[in-house]
Amino acid sequence: MSSPLPLPLRPYGRERLPVSVLGFGGILIMNGEQAGADRLVAGAVERGVNYFDVAPTYGDAQEKLGRSLQPYRKDVYLACKTTRRRRETSRKELEESFRLLRTDYFDNYQLHALTTKEDIDAAFGPDGVMETLVRAKEKGLVRKLGITCHGEDAAVEALTLFPFDTVLFPLNWGLHLGKDFGTRIAKLAREKNAGLLALKSLVHRAWLDDAERNASRFPKSWCKPISDNDALGAAAMKYTLSLGAHALIPPGNIESFTFALNHIDECLANPLSVADLEYLKKALKEIDGKYFF
């Protein structure tokens, strides 16, 4: 059997950076063994993944990823994040992330989890985290600046206030079909020429309760991933790509990441069809409004 082809690279952003159509989320290796992390990262790089994303809030993922990426650092794009909103605390967190990830620069550094008007005001106000980010870019410590958001209002406001290079945002078939969630930020990202990195493409719905979650194979997933349904998973990925996503960051479990690797070629070769859309609309009725937020 022939080996799978390397992942295609998609140029995005103002400088048209060639980033793999699938990214690697650091939650994948959180709280696991270092040897397992090394194998997973090496396998991803061999397959052509060149975008790695991590955050201080992901348990020990920074330290694990820093060790695993050492042989490949110059060949990949490493993205990190901060939830800090003040200049001084964010500066210290940035320095600690450099230490744990064994690097002296980030290819992308992001304001993480912007959600509320208060987040925006603090980040962009006097002594806010934006002062840290802009200064770090001026000094060459970070190459690109981005945002990650789960709320569309915050994402739109942030991208209006500053020319961020990337937006990491949930672009999910259910939320978009059911609530038109993501349309505004996808449109604005295109207008601003920002890279659109998609979260939650392989999420099915919210967990019904803690018992369902605890009994599942996905303890690190705070929403139910699509599993045991290849047709739904492939259609969901196609849907997210149809919204203009440059790259997908699959949910933080190995099963979803592996599924995405195994099906991305099919999704690119056969984009979203009328039959796929009808299938998703039927699946939407079955989840009965139980979106993950």
Condensed to tens digits (0 to 9), the pLDDT of residues 40-74 reads 999 999 999 999 999 999 999 999 999 999 999 99
8 Å CB contact between 208 and 239: no
Nearest to 193 by CA among 222, 159, 226, 219: 159
Host domain of residue 155? 9-287
Q: What is the CATH number of the domain that holds 113?
A: 3.20.20.100
pTM of the model: 0.96
Inside any domain, residue 1: no
pLDDT reported for residue 79: 98
Residue 23 lies in a domain: yes
3-state secondary structure of 166: strand
- Determine the Cα angle at 13 with ends 233 and 177, to 5°: 35
Q: Which helix (H) or strand (E) holds 195?
A: strand 195-199
- Is residue 2, in this structure, part of any structural domain at all? no
Domain-located, residue 292: no
The verdict on residue 227 lying in a domain is yes
Residue 80 makes CB contacts below 8 A (sequence gap 6+) with 53, 54, 55, 56, 62, 94, 97, 101, 106, 108, 109, 110
Q: For residue 196, which phi and psi values (nearest 5 degrees)? A: -110, 110
Q: Six-digit token pair at 31? A: 């709280």
* Structural domain includes residue 4: no
Whether 188 maps to a domain, the answer reads yes
**H-helix or E-strand spanning residue 237:** helix 230-242
Judge whether 103 lies within some domain. yes
Question: Residue 193 region, left (φ>0) first, then alpha (ψ -120 to 50), else beta?
Answer: left
Mean pLDDT along residues 2-26: 85
pLDDT in tens, 171-192: 999 999 999 999 999 999 999 9
Q: How far apart are the first and last CA of the chain?
A: 42
pLDDT at 26 over 60: yes
Mean pLDDT of 239-260: 96
For the segment 111-162, what is each residue's pLDDT rounded down to a tens digit?
999 999 999 999 999 999 999 999 999 999 999 999 999 999 999 999 999 9
245 contacts 199 by C-beta, under 8 angstroms: no
pLDDT of residue 6: 87
Cα–Cα distance between 7 and 201 in angstroms, integer? 18
Q: Token digits for 187?
A: 């449109």
Q: Please state the rounded mean pLDDT for residues 213-238.
A: 94
Looking at residue 27, the DSSP 8-state letter turns out to be: G
Domain count, the chain: 1
Q: Which residue has the higher pLDDT, 17 or 257?
A: 257
